[in-house]
Each structure stands twice: as C-alpha cells, then as structure tokens.
Structure 1
Amino acid sequence: MTAGLQGSLFGQAEECSLGSLTATRRTELGDGAWIDLRPGWLTGADLLFERLAADVPWHAERRRMYDRVVDVPRLLCFYGEGERLPDPVLEEAREALSRHYGDELGEPFRTAGLCFYRDGRDSVAWHGDTIGRGSSEDTMVAIVSVGAQRSMLLRPRGGGATVRQLLGPGDLIVMGGSCQRTWEHAIPKTSRPAGPRISIQFRPRGVR
C-alpha cells in the first residue's frame, strides 16, 4: 500500500535511528496513572512510515457495535510474541524500551500492534487496553508515531478533564501504571486536513 505523506523537517533522514530514552519526561495523571513523553525519539520517521505503508500486510476489520456491524475506521496489523517485526528499527525500539523500562515494568515488551490512520476520518474511540491483564494489573503500553501529526486524548474513566497530546513524527508516548484501567485514550476524527499516520504499540505479554 502507498500513501501520500507530506514530509516533516524532523522526520526526514537518510536512515532510521533511535535517540536516548533518558530524555523522557513523566506526567502524573492521577489514580496511579502516568504518561512518559519523548518527542523525536525516532529519527527518519518519514522513511519508516513509507516502509511500513508499503510492506505491512494491512487489513480492514468489521466489528459489532450495538445492533449493527461497522467498519473499523483504520487499517490494522498485529505481530504476536515471537513474530519478526516488519522493520529492523522496530526490533531495536522494542529492545530499547524493554531495557529502559524493564525494572519498573518487571518484564519485556513482547508484541506490536500497528494502526494505519489514512486521513482525518480514521480514528479510534475512547478505550483502555483492558483485554487480558490490563483490566486488573498495572502495565505499560508504548506507542511510537510516524507520519502526520495527530492529537491523542486522555481522560479519567467516569469523566473529568481531558488531556490533549499532539503526537508528531518519531514521537514516543508511554502509558503506565494504572493508565489502562483508570484512564481512557482516543484518536478523534478531525475535519481539518490530516495526512496519513501509523502508530506502533508495544505491549507486554497478555495485554491488548
């Protein structure tokens, strides 16, 4: 698959590489939830976007919503434990995240889920990653963003002030602690012109 991406100054490079994770900054959200941010962690994000857009076996899904079955508004691909990831830099990213967060998380990141947001009409609704252990245990989900900028929203379960985080090419966000149980996150639709974006979500075993 090919997709038209307007390159960014920060995403352009001749090759992909990862920066240091010591520069992450943590924000405490409350109720034991937190997020870490590392802008521009991945250099060459535009190059990685083009590789993933072309090489990943993307597929569409349909899911039941109340009394009808609807199209999932994004393309998907999931790499389970032990499966080779579609680009070497993603293997490097997963290993780097496992080293950096290993003591705090208590285990490595094992899987990678990829979402392809083709334009501003593609989105993901409010949710927490609570399939599996995320429904009852503190855990982490690390997301690397490539392609166009999109806003990620977070809010407490049950209502409260919304946190808006703009994710650009090469940015890393890590949701940790109780975040999947006590907070929700979403990528909202937008009527503004929005280019294509791919997110790569690294998770530990048993978290979806």
Structure 2
Amino acid sequence: MDFQGTLFEAPPSGVRSFAGLERRALSRGAWVDVQRTWLPGADEVFAALVAEVPWRAERRQMYDREVDVPRLLHTYGVGEPLPHPVLEEARDALSDHYLPELGEPFVTAGCCYYRDGRDSVAWHGDTIGRGRSQDTLVAIVSVGDPRRLVLRPRTGGESIAIEMGHGDLVVMGGSCQRTWEHAVPKVAHAGPRISVQFRPLNVF
C-alpha cells in the first residue's frame, strides 16, 4: 500500500454536513449529488478498511473462460458492524438526509479495493433486485487516491466524469441505475483507493 494520506488532517469529529452538496440533473429522471471532502478522518478510515475488511478476490465467467475480477471485494449485510465508527455515522447521516427521497434507510455497505490503476469496474448499473424496476439511491464514499467515476446514458449519448477524491461523497439517484451506466476505468498510474457503497435493502 503506497497511498500518502493527508498530512495535516484533523481527527474524526463527526460526519460533515450536506451544506456544500451539489446536484447535477441527468436525463430521464436520473441525478448525481457530489459533496467534496465529506467524510471526516478519511486517512484513519482508509487504514482501517485496508487492515480490517476481509477482502476476497473473485473470478467470473467471461464468454468461454473464467477471469479474475480486477479489484478486491467485501459486502457488509444488514445489521453487520462496519470496520470503523465513522462509516456507521456516515450511513446514519445519509439515511437521515435522503429519507424524504428514498423513503427508507441505507442498510448494506459494499466495499471495493482498487489496489492500483489496473483495477477497475466495467460499465454497469445496480439492477439486481429492486434497482431493475424502481428508482433508488446508491451512495458512494471514496477514500485513497483519486479515481474517475464515469457515467453514460444506456440509450447512448455523451458521458460525464466525476473525479472522486479522498473523503468525497457521490450519490446516484432517481432512475440512474436503470437509465444510466457507470464505470471506474483503468488508468496508467494510480495508488490504492477504496470505495464504500451504501445501499437500501435488496439493491445490488
């Protein structure tokens, strides 16, 4: 692990407010919220995630062969404790803030460990479960080296890119999972980065 944290970051002191949240309306009822440096104690959270999460490597069928999934994974299910108390606070703050739009809390936390620029995730939407037919929200907290989250309409059209920095929050909402796709593309050079995706029940 060669990620260089924030040298002068203050200790965690509670999840920051949503006062600087910026919403970008997309097509067909989709939208994306971005809040920079939202997660307090991002250095400490990153170190805890690297050390405490039981990371696993997966393989998937790709046409006629099995290939390695280019990132490490773990999911915390409903009721499972998260590896750092700031993440518990983050999930609760997101549930409170988005309750009027989502109508329910965030209850799971999927974790992805991008070890370097060769790790990535291909174009997809979270359409297993209720996301296939219903509007929903997926909230992503990123810690570690910056990486681009790229989104494009499923029906074709111009893509957009959001650079997710250390401690940043991105929330995909409305019809985003059904009408848009997102990806984290490979890059020539990048240090380690971890994303934590908070989701409501039965959204994958």
Tell me whether the two structures share a fold, i.e. TM-score over 0.5: yes
Q: Give SS of 1:18's match.
A: coil
Residues 1:57 and 2:80 are matched in the alignment:
no
- Where does 1:133-172 land on structure 2 (aligned, <5 Å)? 133-172=130-169
Unaligned runs of 5+ in 1: none
1:127 equivalent in structure 2: 124
Spell out, residue by residue over 1:136-168, the C-alpha distance to the aligned partner (whole angstroms, 9 max, x if none): 000000000000000110000032101010000
Out of 85-94 and 130-139, give the one that drifted further.
Answer: 85-94
Compute the TM-score of the two structures, normalised by the length of structure 1. Answer: 0.95
Distance 2:2 2:12 in 1: 19
Q: Give SS of 1:160's match.
A: coil
Q: 2:201 aligns with which of 181, 188, 205?
A: 205
User: After TM superposition, which residue ranges in structure 1, 4 or more long, deviate above 4 angstroms?
Assistant: none
Residues 1:29 and 2:26 are matched in the alignment:
yes
Q: Give SS of 2:96's match.
A: helix
Q: Give SS of 1:34's match.
A: strand
Distance 2:177 2:7 in 1: 33
Q: Give SS of 2:90's match.
A: helix
- Where does 1:1-208 land on structure 2 (aligned, <5 Å)? 3-8=1-6, 12-15=9-12, 17-191=14-188, 193-208=189-204
Unaligned runs of 5+ in 2: none
Distance 1:114 1:43 in 2: 18
Identity %: 64
Distance 1:31 1:54 in 2: 41
- Size of the aligned set, in residue pairs, is 204
Query: Is the Cα contact below 8 Å between 2:5 and 2:43 reproduced in 1?
Result: yes
Distance 1:198 1:84 in 2: 18
Q: Cα offset for 1:14? A: 2.9
- CA RMSD after TM alignment: 1.2
